[in-house]
């Protein structure tokens, strides 16, 4: 059996400790009971711990993973052996080390001097990692080989609607348990070497929808063994939304140009037809030709429907000269509440209204705001064929300098493959719908400078109408 490498010092322990404190190498002294009796500031700074009391409370072997008893490790001065250090913020640092047995000049054993090399550089990487996870505008997840979440960036917490302290060290199977396995963004296959680059995915968090590009890959140690994996999520919602808006605006502009050019050509003959039908209708009534009289009623109703369709076409043309004014959104909602309630009663729907105090005025057009809100509320009410609840909520978003109206119904929801199409002209799921209502609503809100977003998880739908605050 080899004799441990021993350092005898002919001076007091206090002098030795003062000498160790000025070294750039991380150093600790550990006694026979595995208690830390000394740690220089280099190690404390690198590991993130405050003092030796904190180290002893956690137990040093839970922080530094020695493979053997310190007495055995002190039998050689080789410093090419590696061990892992678990820092306070749950990151792992691999480093090389040496262990020396300490004795005074009168052969009293004072413990073991542990020297950890290059920990200062590792600490720089650690600080960068911690800052990166906090400040980067990316969703980052780090998982270990047991499929547990080791770290998560603030942006990823925002995307998934999670609190960091509630999900760290939990299995991803547990974290995403409410989500069907086939829809979970992170699969165990990532630990098997499945690499993804710019994979387009969507994620809905409560009322917010995120369009994401996902990268993932495994993490390997120096021996090539898989020790975990990372997932990076880039939020491209604004770019995707802008691209869709440009495409939709192009389509609306084309439809609007056609409508503007043909509206009069359609309405002129319709006016003549309607006039003659009204004359015929009067004559049929005088001659008690009841069946033919009803036929004229049907024809006149259909002519009115065509006129209404032409009017909607005209709304899709280039923006009209709106009269913008200071609008009290709360007052506007109060004015249309009776109309919404009457419609709701017919469909056995309860209306819940949540107002916001001191809602700022917005720069808009009162009648057009009424048109948008009534249209979306009517759609929500009609979607609840077996009754339900329509919730209307006013909100102030100081961060984005805007006010919003959230309209939520408890209907069956919109299938995920249709959500992106509902604002397209002529797209409708109603038998008697024109498919222009939501297109017109979106055009109106865009002209004001706002946006309409929709979220549906299969058990209800939420429309969020956001409008900017003036001069903010």
* E runs forming strands in 339-409: 349-354, 362-364, 388-397, 402-409
433 and 337 both lie in a single domain? yes
376 and 424 both lie in a single domain? yes
Residue 300 lies in a domain: yes
Residue 335 lies in a domain: yes
375 and 448 both lie in a single domain? yes
In this structure, how many other beta carbons lie within 10 angstroms of the beta carbon of residue 310?
16
Pairing of strands 139-144, 109-117: unpaired
User: pLDDT below 50 — which residues of the chain?
Assistant: 1, 318
Residue 284 lies in a domain: yes
Last residue of a domain, one of 105, 125, 145: 125
336 and 415 both lie in a single domain? yes
> Phi and psi (nearest 5°) for 369?
-60, -40
Query: pLDDT digits over 159-194, tens only?
Result: 888 888 888 888 888 888 887 777 777 888 888 887
Q: At what angle do helices 290-315 and 237-286 cross, to 10 degrees?
A: 150
Task: Report CA-CA distances (Å) from 111 to 2, 33, 57, 72.
Answer: 18, 9, 19, 13
Residue 171: strand, helix, or coil: strand
The set of long-range contacts for 46-52, using a CB threshold of 8 Å and a minimum separation of 24, is 46/85, 46/87, 46/93, 46/116, 46/119, 46/120, 46/122, 46/123, 46/126, 47/85, 47/87, 47/88, 48/87, 48/88, 48/89, 48/126, 49/88
What pLDDT shows up at residue 350? 93
What pLDDT shows up at residue 352? 93
331 and 463 both lie in a single domain? yes
- From the list 156, 150, 171, the residue with the least C-alpha distance to 232 is 156
Residue 1 lies in a domain: no
What pLDDT shows up at residue 301? 85
Q: How many residues does the chain have?
A: 472
> Phi and psi (nearest 5°) for 271?
-60, -40
176 and 257 both lie in a single domain? no
pTM: 0.44
248 and 364 both lie in a single domain? no
349 and 419 both lie in a single domain? yes
Last residue of a domain, one of 189, 204, 235: 235
The CATH number of the domain holding residue 27 is 3.30.450.20
| Domain extent for 175 | 136-235
Pairing of strands 388-397, 461-468: unpaired
* Domains in the chain, number: 4
Residue 301 lies in a domain: yes
What pLDDT shows up at residue 377? 93
19 and 117 both lie in a single domain? yes
Q: Do residues 359 and 330 make contact, with C-beta atoms less than 8 angstroms apart?
A: yes
| Cα-Cα end-to-end distance for the chain | 78
What pLDDT shows up at residue 17? 59
Residue 130 lies in a domain: no
The CATH number of the domain holding residue 431 is 3.30.565.10
Last residue of a domain, one of 191, 219, 235: 235
Residue 290 lies in a domain: yes
55 and 35 both lie in a single domain? yes
330 and 458 both lie in a single domain? yes
347 and 224 both lie in a single domain? no
What pLDDT shows up at residue 1? 46
Residue 457 lies in a domain: yes
What pLDDT shows up at residue 408? 93
């Amino acid at each position: 059996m080899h004799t441990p490498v021993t350092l005898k010092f002919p001076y007091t322990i206090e002098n030795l400790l003062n000498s160790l404190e000025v070294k750039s190498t991380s150093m600790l002294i550990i006694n026979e009971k595995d208690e830390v009796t000394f740690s220089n500031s280099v190690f404390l700074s690198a590991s993130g711990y405050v003092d030796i009391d904190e180290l002893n409370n956690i137990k040093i072997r839970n922080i530094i993973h020695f493979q053997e008893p310190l007495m055995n490790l002190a039998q050689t001065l080789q410093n090419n052996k590696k061990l892992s250090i678990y820092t306070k913020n749950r990151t792992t640092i691999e480093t090389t080390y040496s262990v020396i047995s300490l004795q005074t000049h009168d052969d009293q054993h004072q413990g073991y001097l542990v020297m950890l090399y290059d920990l200062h550089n590792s600490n720089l990487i650690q600080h960068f990692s911690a800052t990166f996870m906090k400040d980067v505008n990316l969703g980052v997840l780090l998982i270990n080989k047991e499929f547990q979440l080791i770290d998560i960036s603030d942006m990823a917490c925002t995307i998934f609607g999670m609190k960091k302290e509630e999900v760290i060290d939990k299995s991803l199977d547990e974290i995403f348990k409410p989500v069907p396995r086939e829809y979970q963004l992170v699969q165990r296959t990532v630990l098997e070497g499945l690499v993804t680059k710019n994979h387009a995915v969507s994620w809905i968090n409560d009322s917010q929808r995120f369009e994401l590009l996902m990268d993932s890959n495994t993490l390997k140690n120096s021996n090539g063994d898989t020790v975990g994996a990372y997932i990076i999520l880039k939020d491209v919602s604004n770019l995707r939304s802008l691209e869709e808006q440009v495409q939709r605006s192009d389509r609306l502009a084309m439809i609007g140009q056609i409508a503007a050019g043909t509206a009069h050509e359609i309405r002129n003959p319709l006016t003549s037809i309607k006039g003659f039908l009204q004359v015929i209708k009067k004559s049929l009534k005088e001659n008690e030709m009841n069946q033919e009289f009803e036929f004229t009623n049907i024809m006149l109703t259909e002519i009115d429907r065509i006129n209404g369709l032409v009017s909607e076409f005209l709304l899709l043309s280039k923006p009209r000269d709106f009269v913008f004014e200071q609008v009290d959104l709360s007052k506007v909602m109060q004015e249309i509440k009776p109309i919404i309630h009457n419609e709701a009663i017919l469909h056995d729907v309860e209306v819940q209204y949540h107002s916001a105090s001191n809602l700022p005025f917005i720069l808009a057009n009162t009648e057009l705001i009424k048109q948008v809100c009534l249209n979306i509320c009517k759609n929500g009410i009609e979607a609840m064929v077996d009754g339900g609840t329509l919730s209307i909520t006013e909100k102030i978003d100081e961060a984005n300098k805007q006010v919003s109206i959230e309209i939520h119904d408890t209907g069956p929801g919109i299938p995920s493959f249709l959500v992106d199409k509902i604002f397209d002209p002529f797209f409708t799921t109603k038998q008697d719908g024109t498919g222009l209502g939501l297109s017109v609503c979106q055009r109106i809100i865009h002209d004001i400078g706002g946006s309409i977003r929709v979220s549906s998880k299969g058990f209800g739908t939420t429309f969020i109408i956001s409008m900017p605050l003036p001069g903010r």
